[in-house]
Amino acid sequence: MTMIDSTAVTDEEREAILGAVREFADAELAPHAAERDEKHLFPRESLHRGGELGLGGIYVGEEFGGTGLGRVDTVAIFEELAKGDPTVAAYISIHNMVAWMIDTYGDDEQRAQWVPALAAMELFGGYCLTEPGVGSDAAGLATTAQRDGEHYVLNGVKQFISGAGEAGVYVVMARTGGPGSGAKGVSAFLVPGDAEGLSFGVAEKKMGWHAQPTRQVIFDGVRVPASAMLGEEGRGFAIAMSALNGGRLNIAACSLGGAQWALEKAVQYVHERVAFGEPLAEKQSILFAIADMRTELQAARLMVHDGARAVDEKAPDATMRCAMAKRFATDAAFDVANRALQLHGGYGYLQDYGIERVVRDLRVHQILEGTNEIMRLIVGREMLRPAGSASLQRSGENQMRSAS
């Protein structure tokens, strides 16, 4: 395998990067996806090898070992990874989000301490925002961080944390303000995976995503130095939200990759399967179904790339465009994978074909990184602002210029 070159910007170099990623996915992910799903195996060694390739810090700066790619290239990488295994690709997305947060908001000491090992995937990262009684209302989190001299003491519980128990560092959102302080009372902290007082709940029994552990992360008097605060006090919520733009794009891209794999399997199957004296591929209803699936995936792909461009360009409406892309792509991809299962008939329901696993894995993408209902809220509120219609007009003009 070839090391990802962080200077790659041309079409030729971009194809070389994607070729290396395909090779990794074909060698390390796809052959083991069914076994990892069945036995709930977390692929530590494969992830370490992914770090050697440069997959641990895809859009992290080069100073501390990242590859420094833009978000357009990043989403293409995650789509390729997800063709091998959507679950592992999604964990790599979460890991990259953690590495990016530390690289972007950390001071030089924090970056030097954590980013090189994360970029190389010698350490894994965990993102601790969601709580048991909070869900989508992230600003209402209850985990506290009380100042005690030169330290903060963290108490609380985080829910649905991917990689819990495996991560070497957790980015934790905790309340430093008083009751009722809302989003402005939230700060971010870097908590080592071996911190005293840190523990984990039992592994959740999930519908999908079996190849990565999901547990509660419990903080019982966890003491970290004041220097472990990431960014400024009271900026934790803003840091968390800024990371979610990229996270939503990555998860959308993972959905695309899983659905594309399922579609390709369906195309192969309808060519091979004979019913009522002719291949299924000869039936017009099947032809129309395949055409619709391909069309919807391409539309979703264009939306994801549009959101990625918005982040790269620091567009003022980037959050809305990322929300639109995440909502549309994860809905479309789940639907495509589900229809691929239907085209397989009873065989699609069997584990041997892999389709049912991808359907299960993609279902959660409509929930995490902000539910798709929250994505609608983001878009609707933005459009009802006075500047919303002007943003829509500018977007249309930009699309016309891109097409000309």
Residue 233 known to be catalytic: no
Query: CA torsion 339→342→347→349, rounded to 10°?
Result: 80
Q: Could you identify the residue written with the tokens 């019982």? A: 220
Cα–Cα distance, 106 to 108 (Å, whole number): 7
Encoded tokens for 264: 């390709």
Q: Select from 188, 222, 216, 212 the least CA-distant residue to 202.
A: 216
Q: Select from 250, 343, 245 the least CA-distant residue to 294.
A: 343
Q: Could you identify the residue written with the tokens 């108490």? A: 155
Q: How many CB atoms are closer than 10 A to CB 40?
A: 14
Annotated catalytic residue, options 369, 373, 382, 397: 369
Please give the positions annotated as active site: 369
